[in-house]
Chains A and B, each alone.
Chain A
Amino acid sequence: MDFSYTNEQEILKDILREFCDKEITPKVAEYDRKREFDYSIIEKLHKQKLLGVVIPKEYGGVGGSLIDQAIICEEIARNSFTAMVVTNFTWYMPYEILRVGTEENKKRWISYLFDGKKLGAHSGTEADAGTDAASVRTWAKLEGDEWVINGTKWFVSNLGKADYYFISLRTAEDRYNGMSTILVEKNTPGMTIGRRVEHISVRGINNGELIFENCRVPKENLIGRLNKGFYDMLVLYDVIRLFFAIGAVGIARGALESSIKFAQERQQFGKPIGDFQLIRAMIADMATEIDAARLLIYRALDMERKGLKHTKETCMAKLYATEMADRTTYKAIQIHGGYGVTTDFPVERYWRDARITTIGEGTSEIQRLIIASEIFKSEKIVLDSALD
């Protein structure tokens, strides 16, 4: 068991820091204030071959390791969680196809979608379908060689900015055996952008409502197996959740680094506040929890690399990392005192961004239910036991 980074991974961290210092950090506060994002970052990351390194060479990627991908996500999130979430949508969906797509899907879509320019979006949530993902009511019905989609999706990230959307919807009445995923490219007639929602986290991301009214897409846009979309989603979550969790680690690290700097500079009672034991205790807890979260994530990624089942380990990592980010960013504000709640310092943004991490990609509550379900080795489907 080797817990150290390779030389290459250390350099990867260094170059990401350089890249972020130059291209992301100076603009972060502005993204947040104006609720905008500088999409040119995608092209710049692509030039550095830093987008979706896990995509294999045969599909236009570089075939990098899962840990390298996690390093990239953490370093970007350390500077801007918004930037991590947005840029991950350039490779999440190609990766989804790689994991759960059919051979035809892979040939038709991966290279086409993963071109270093296209931005994707994934939509599962509806007004009455969130944690209970199987209750979606957006329908797709096959008419000839086309799917006809009707319904309204909610909390769609990259709304209006994405080049394509992966829509989780219903293709049959059966609760779990009636869900599928269909790809809809932008500007497809019948798909319209609805209301953009305001939120306190990841403010640079467009997020809101996507409306389908007799939207027609080719039959080949079905991603994965017909009516097995729910099960495909569970498989996918085992990995995707980890990249969301590592983003939480990135946020927490940003908060810790800012706190250390502040504690060394801020003088009270004639000495830096970092000399006081209560501040030091907070810093020690923050640093310890960040490392613990990262190690949980790396363990699950290592199991993925070895082809082992890691649903429980992924949920543990996601649960711990995201709640840790919430605790850590709270402490960061506490250390910064009054300055912590001003927009002159980044910690209030870290705190706001950390808040979504315990909700997005599965709430803490559902992570706990899945972990418990795995521990008790329930034979019933996870969500059924959760809802019983």
Chain B
Amino acid sequence: MTQHSINLGIMLNIAVCIKEIPEEIRVNKKTYTLIREGIKGVINPCDKNAIELSVTLKEKHGGKVTLISMGPQNVEKTLIHGLAMGADQAVFICDKAFAGADTLATAFTLVTAIKKLGHFQLILCGKASADSGTQHIGPQIANFLGITQVTYAVGLAVENNKVRVKRQLMDEYETVEVEFPVLISVVKGMNEPRIPSYVDIYEASKKDFFRWSINDLGLKEDQVGLTGSPTKISKILPPETIRQCKMLQGTLEEICNDLAQILKT
């Protein structure tokens, strides 16, 4: 506990929900599904910002950071990366029964793990995953837990047992003040995630790492995975890109104006 945290009387117990995504989004044009095989997994970019935020808060106020992730076997590496960034422990939710989960079944499973872990003042997650981008998980977790949620966070300060959050809206910023417990989803680029050192990587492997199956969470198969998911994905299609060359004519000013107009639209 730092001197600062003693003064404030805060010891933040923080959970960070993270997701591993494929480094490159490729779609199988025959089966209309995402290709994951042979593509390297990385931490979802804004989840990395959430980890950075959690570790910064812990360093300032004291406390403990727990990473939680659900996914296939190879996600272990992503969690260890997060531990190397400074988190204290990791929970890896892995079971064949969880495969094919939609956002609701995923949030439900994550919330079951969060409840099993105990009480958190702060739950952080990224705004959205770069592969599916639904932005559902954060709000769904908050809803299941019945706690306040603040989305699109670009800045955050903890003062007098309250959290002041700067939100990024379409055309403006909004600052809100909320009480614990709260779920906050963060925007990519809100901070600069640290790069762990060589020593941090190997120290991370010594930290507490829990693997939880469907039985460990006390769940039934019809509550999770594909069978527990009301959403059925019929097709995934990549956005169509068309290459088109257009030569702009006129004076320099006219060309610049035309170009600006094209970029705007």
Contact = CB atoms under 8 A, between A and B. Distances in A.
Given A10-B77, A11-B77, A47 B197 contact: yes
A8 B196 contact: no
B60 to A, nearest CB: 21
B195 A7 contact: no
A281 interface: no
A50 B201 CA distance: 11
B243 interface: yes
Contacts of A267: 243
A49 B204 CA distance: 15
A14 B198 contact: no
B198 A7 contact: no
B202 A8 contact: yes
A15 B201 contact: yes
Interface string A47-72: 11110010000000010100010000
Contacts of A47: 197
B188 interface: no
A12 interface: yes
Contacts of B31: none
B98 to A, nearest CB: 21
Nearest to B76: A7
A15, A18, A49, A267, most chain B CB atoms within 10 A: A15
B205 A15 contact: no
A11 B197 CA distance: 10
B197 A12 contact: no
Given A7-B76, A7-B205, A8-B205, A14 B197 contact: no
B156 to A, nearest CB: 23
Nearest to B205: A8
A11 B195 contact: no
Contacts of A12: 198, 201
Contacts of A8: 80, 201-202, 204-205
B139 to A, nearest CB: 29
A14 B199 contact: no
A64 B80 CA distance: 18
Given A11-B80, A14-B42, A14-B81, A19 B195 contact: yes
Interface size class for chain A?
A: 10 to 19
Nearest to B80: A7
A50 B197 contact: yes
B76 A50 contact: no
Contacts, number: 45
Contacts of A18: 195
Interface in B204-227: 204-205
A18 B81 CA distance: 13
Given A49-B199, A50-B197, A11 B81 contact: yes
A26 B191 CA distance: 21
Interface of B is mostly: helix
Interface string B71-97: 000001100110010000000000000
Contacts of B197: 47-50
Given A10-B77, A267-B243, A48 B195 contact: yes
A10 B199 CA distance: 14
Interface string A259-278: 00000000100000000000
A375 to B, nearest CB: 38
Contacts of B201: 8, 11-12, 15
Interface string B41-62: 0100000000000000000000
Contacts of A48: 195-198
A62 B201 CA distance: 12
Nearest to B198: A49
Contacts of A11: 77, 80-81, 84, 196, 201, 204
- Most-contacted residue by chain B among A11, A15, A68 (CB, 10 A): A11
Contact of A62 (B84, B198, B243): B198
Contacts of B243: 267
Contacts of B76: 7
A7 B206 CA distance: 13
Interface in B104-155: none
Contacts of B80: 7-8, 11
A14, A50, A68: residue with the most chain B Cβ atoms closer than 10 Å: A14
A385 B195 CA distance: 50
A231 B33 CA distance: 60
Interface string A158-192: 00000000000000000000000000000000000
Interface string A127-164: 00000000000000000000000000000000000000
Nearest to A10: B77
Given A7-B76, A7-B80, A15 B202 contact: no
A81 B263 CA distance: 38
Contacts of A15: 81, 84, 195-196, 201
A64 B198 contact: yes
Contacts of B42: 14
21 contacts: A7-B77, A7-B205, A8-B80, A8-B201, A8-B204, A11-B80, A11-B84, A11-B196, A11-B201, A12-B201, A14-B42, A14-B81, A15-B81, A18-B195, A19-B195, A47-B197, A48-B198, A49-B198, A49-B199, A50-B197, A62-B198
Q: Which 3 A-B pairs have the closest CB atoms?
A: A49-B198, A49-B197, A7-B77
Interface of A: 7-8, 10-12, 14-15, 18-19, 22, 47-50, 53, 62, 64, 68, 267
Given A11-B81, A11-B204, 8 more contacts: A7-B80, A7-B205, A11-B201, A12-B201, A15-B84, A47-B197, A49-B198, A64-B198
